[in-house]
Amino acid sequence: MQSETAKLLRMASLILWDEVSMTKRQAIEALDKSLRDIMEKPDLPFGGKTIVFGGDFGQVLPVVRKGTRAQIINATLRRSYLWKNMQKPRLVRNMRAQSDPWFSNYLLRIGNGTEETVKDDNVKVPNEICVPYTGAESDIDNLIDTVFPMLATHMSNSDYITSRAILITRNENVDDINMRLIERFPGDEMVYHSYDLAVDDPNNYYPPEFLNSLTPNGLPPHILKLKVNCPVILLRNLDPANGLCNGTRLIVRAFQRNTVDAKIVLGQHAGKRVFLPRIPLCPSDDEIFPFKFKRNQFPIRVSFAMNINKTQGQTIPHVEIYLPNPVFSHGQLYVALSRATARRNIKILAASGNDATVDSTYTLTKNIVYKEVLTS
């Protein structure tokens, strides 16, 4: 009640919360109860403060580890006790491809789950935005060449590097693509190894070799390979006031033993040079391992390729979507397709098989939409 944060909240006349659809309802309910106490108005939602929520329930919902459909839906704001007291929201989607009516309408149908399906919730993706899939190893090389043409020529152009990305559903595929691209990227390579520790393990039940093999969600890899001018994405809030937030994209400019010299390339702080330190990092989900895991490493990942969930809220002019496996959660396909600014800037490589097949005009791939979230 006497903290500086409480004083700031009392002074605030408006609070904005973006991407609220990705936030678990418990966090929003906690803010509600805290503001009622701070403002000493227990009967008013959020203590009488005006809150504006931004987000799209057609996009990725809160992550519930190994959660069922019902558990994921229950974690959303729409299942909060606050929802019935809120002003009815207006559905205003910012469609980035407004100059292309067909693509805008297609995105809306994908996001709403109204696009025509063909056996097992597969939707038709026009072959004009697909990269042919043959099952050969060369498919990935073709995908890379499509989104990063003449990479060696444009390596020093930060606009070229950060305006392109390959979006993938699973982290293991993200790491594989990033390793392929960092090997292609010209220049000398710097390799940083993390120091991993199982806290409160005096008997050394978990040897370093085992800990080094782990890469939990939200943590950098044990072996971090970087080159000058390669793109990276920040994994933690280091200094939000100066642009160093979780999700900030940067370009590496130089290396030192315990710092990485980088430049912010997008947003309000674009062009600012920053020094990133090694810091201790722990998984956000304590139930992943039967011990407390700590990794001392730079809080960044190479970002030629990114997880689809990580890109929510970002605009990436040139997008390549790699689907070696179909999407597996609500809104993933919609998020991936809607990152780009136009239909001509999107390419999809979807693996053929039980979940994705190809004919002369379209490719089939899965689209998962929890319609009860959109209508309740």
Give 91's pLDDT tier (boundaries 50, 70, 90).
low
Report pLDDT for 1. 86
Q: What are phi and psi of 93, to 5 degrees?
A: -90, 130
Q: Quick check: helix, strand or coil at residue 119?
A: coil
What's the mean pLDDT in 103-109?
88
- 309-343 burial: b if 16+ Cβ within 10 Å, else e: bbbbeeebebbbbbbbbbbebbbbbbbbbbbbbeb
What would the pLDDT profile of 247-295 be if each residue is shown by its tens digit? Answer: 899 999 999 888 999 999 988 899 999 999 999 999 876 667 888 899 9
pLDDT at 29 over 90: yes
Q: What are phi and psi of 100, to 5 degrees?
A: -120, 90
CB of 79 closer than 8 Å to CB of 25: yes
pLDDT at 354 over 50: no
Report pLDDT for 376. 60
Nearest to 340 by CA among 307, 361, 311: 311
- How many Cβ atoms from other residues are within 10 Å of residue 167's Cβ? 27
Report pLDDT for 287. 62
Give 212's pLDDT tier (boundaries 50, 70, 90).
very high
Adjacent-strand bridge partners of 295: 196, 281
Burial of 127 (0-12, 13-18, 19+ CB in 10 A): middle
Q: What is the pTM of this model?
A: 0.86
